[in-house]
Amino acid sequence: MSPDPPALACDVCVIGAGSAGLSVAAGTSRLGLRTVLVEEAEMGGDCLNRGCVPSKALLAAARAAGPGPAIPGVAAPAAAVDFAAVADGVADVIAAIAPHDSAARFEGLGATVLRGRARFLEPRTLRIGRQVVRAARSVIATGSRPAIPAIPGLDPARVLTNATLFGLRERPAHLLILGGGPVGIEMAQAHRRLGCAVTLVQRRTILPRDEPDLVAILRARLEREGVRLVEHAAVARVAHGLDEVVLTLERGGAQERLAGSHLLVAAGRQANVEDLGLDAAGVAYGPEGIAVDRRLRTSRRGLFALGDVVAGGPRYTHAAGYQAGIVVRNLAFRLPARVEYRALPRVTYTDPELAQVGLTEAEARARGEVVTVLTQPLSRNDRAVAERRPEGAVKLVAGRRGRILGAAILGPAAGEVIGLWCLAIAQGLSLRAVSGTILPYPTIGEAARAAAGAYYAPALFGPRTRRLVDLLRRLPG
């Protein structure tokens, strides 16, 4: 056997080549820090291979197959869905984006890419296979995996998760979905539009973190499209048969039997903290992930963690990218940069999309804020009416003097429109700043500006203003 290679010294060792780790490695490498990037599985991690990219590619196919708005004089032919070809198209999208996350690209940026599982031997020493790495500082970005609930009879090997769903080439006859968060809801609508019967089971209400009045509109849309939503139901047990899976539900004191061909578990995520040698590194962690401070430092000096592996942190790709900037500033410039999630958005990419930034109405009231709620239905928006897509609304939550506390949008391209409100909240702007902004006509974004303007309408058109205008009218010239 050949001797082990000599130890490799570096300034930064990044463990995990998913969204978080890649963003850190790109920054440190381009700034001239000697960077080692370690990945055990696929470059690009969950987002590229099993998450954001394939799910959005599948949703695009579902939009093309789904019911469009009824437009007079236009009768669109029914879409023909080849499920295997759809799966091939999803794979093509992954392949098109993969070079951006490839080892070759990061080696071109100056990083050393090692393939294998990294384990800490002590805080500044790691082993990857036979290679020992001595790192001045390390960044743990090992991500998460689907959480499988402990339900009697449930066999993890016989259910679908986001890790296996996008490899299906045969259309499920009846897809059962366990979990009513964004992933479950997106996949419910997508598979229904692609020709599957779909039943979704949720312990509470669907999308419990979002504005209930906007969720109600989306719920009605899903049910009209044929998605069966079983809310406030617990799964008591699961039985796997040869060609079906059966759930026993408990709801309202009664039991119900629900059978389907496939079961997708979309019930949250579990941080990847096992077998990393975190005890040897002196890093505090638990089942929920690694504990960090606002600078994303772990309990051990010189070791950082970010992305899905962080306990209690936001688990979004865009959050990981933001966190990477914080880590790079701490690593490269020794600046005490800290995370601030006040303006962190989230989007459920259904049709219509549901986007949220800042506080919901309930969250704002729970904090004791003096709240003004402004709602503008899309039925009053010219663009939405012209395109026969009036379902949805803009809901704004404002505090004293029109300070923007939160914004929620249900409508076409809500994930794009919410960007204006992310900026407004991040910069501490008031509704006046948005209501006075000129936006192009006709756009969905105008609904948000109209909602902001409604805050000032009572004062602008009230009796005092009318008396002032009357007085000015009487003045000469």
> Model confidence over 185-222: pLDDT tens digits?
999 999 999 999 999 999 999 999 999 999 999 999 99
Single out the residue of 81, 83, 52 nearest to residue 64, CA to CA: 81
Q: 3-state class of 119 per DSSP?
A: strand
Instruction: Tell me how far apart the alpha carbons of residues 45 and 17 are, in angstroms, rounded to a whole number.
Output: 6
Instruction: Tell me how far apart the alpha carbons of residues 225 and 189 are, in angstroms, rounded to a whole number.
Output: 8
Give 349: exposed, middle or buried? Use CB within 10 Å, 0-12, 13-18, 19+.
Answer: buried
Instruction: Tell me how far apart the alpha carbons of residues 64 and 271 are, in angstroms, rounded to a whole number.
Output: 35
Instruction: Tell me how far apart the alpha carbons of residues 101 and 108 are, in angstroms, rounded to a whole number.
Output: 12
Instruction: Tell me how far apart the alpha carbons of residues 204 and 215 are, in angstroms, rounded to a whole number.
Output: 13
Structure-token pair, residue 151? 């339900």
Across 21-25, 166-170, 228-232, 252-256, least confident range:
252-256
Residue 328 backbone dihedrals phi, psi, to 5 degrees? -65, -40
Domains of the chain: 8-43+102-146+270-333 (3.50.50.60), 156-267 (3.50.50.60), 345-460 (3.30.390.30)
Cis check: omega of the bond before 352, within 30 degrees of 0: yes
At residue 1, the pLDDT reads 61
Structure-token pair, residue 110? 């100056």
Instruction: Tell me how far apart the alpha carbons of residues 364 and 399 are, in angstroms, rounded to a whole number.
Output: 9
Cite the beta strand spans of 231-371 per DSSP E: 234-240, 245-251, 254-260, 262-265, 269-271, 285-286, 289-290, 303-305, 345-348, 353-358
Instruction: Tell me how far apart the alpha carbons of residues 327 and 20 are, in angstroms, rounded to a whole number.
Output: 10
The percent of residues above 70 in pLDDT, for the chain, comes to: 99
| Tally of CA atoms within 13 A in the half-sphere of 218 that contains its CB | 32
Is pLDDT of 72 > 90?
Answer: no
How does 380-391 read in b/e, with b if 16+ C-beta sit within 10 Å? ebebbeebebbb
Residue 256 backbone dihedrals phi, psi, to 5 degrees? -140, 140
- Under the banding of pLDDT at 50, 70 and 90, the label for residue 33 is very high
Is pLDDT of 371 > 80?
Answer: yes
Phi/psi-derived region of residue 343, left when phi > 0, alpha when psi is between -120 and 50, beta in every other case: alpha
Averaged pLDDT of the chain: 94
Range 320-335 average pLDDT: 96
Instruction: Tell me how far apart the alpha carbons of residues 256 and 228 are, in angstroms, rounded to a whole number.
Output: 14
At residue 361, the pLDDT reads 98
Across 171-175, 398-402, 473-477, least confident range:
473-477
- What confidence tens digit (pLDDT) does each residue in 267-318 have? 999 999 999 999 999 999 999 999 999 999 999 999 999 999 999 999 999 9
The percent of residues above 90 in pLDDT, for the chain, comes to: 88
Range 229-252 average pLDDT: 95
Range 73-97 average pLDDT: 89
Is pLDDT of 78 > 80?
Answer: no
Cis check: omega of the bond before 442, within 30 degrees of 0: yes
Instruction: Tell me how far apart the alpha carbons of residues 307 and 25 are, in angstroms, rounded to a whole number.
Output: 14
| DSSP-assigned letter for residue 306 | -
- What confidence tens digit (pLDDT) does each residue in 414-469 have? 999 999 999 999 999 999 999 989 999 999 999 988 988 888 878 777 788 788 77
Sign of CA pseudo-dihedral 110, 115, 119, 121: negative
Instruction: Tell me how far apart the alpha carbons of residues 26 and 415 are, in angstroms, rounded to a whole number.
Output: 26
Note the pTM of the prediction, 2 decimals.
0.94
Sign of CA pseudo-dihedral 333, 339, 345, 348: positive
Instruction: Tell me how far apart the alpha carbons of residues 225 and 1 are, in angstroms, rounded to a whole number.
Output: 63
Instruction: Tell me how far apart the alpha carbons of residues 404 and 375 are, in angstroms, rounded to a whole number.
Output: 14
Q: Give the helix/strand (H/E) hosting 183.
A: helix 182-193
State the residue for tokens 């080696």. 107
Single out the residue of 313, 293, 419, 306 nearest to residue 358, CA to CA: 419
Is pLDDT of 106 > 90?
Answer: yes
C-alpha torsion angle, residues 81, 85, 89, 91 (rounded to 10)? 130
Q: 3-state class of 418 per DSSP?
A: helix
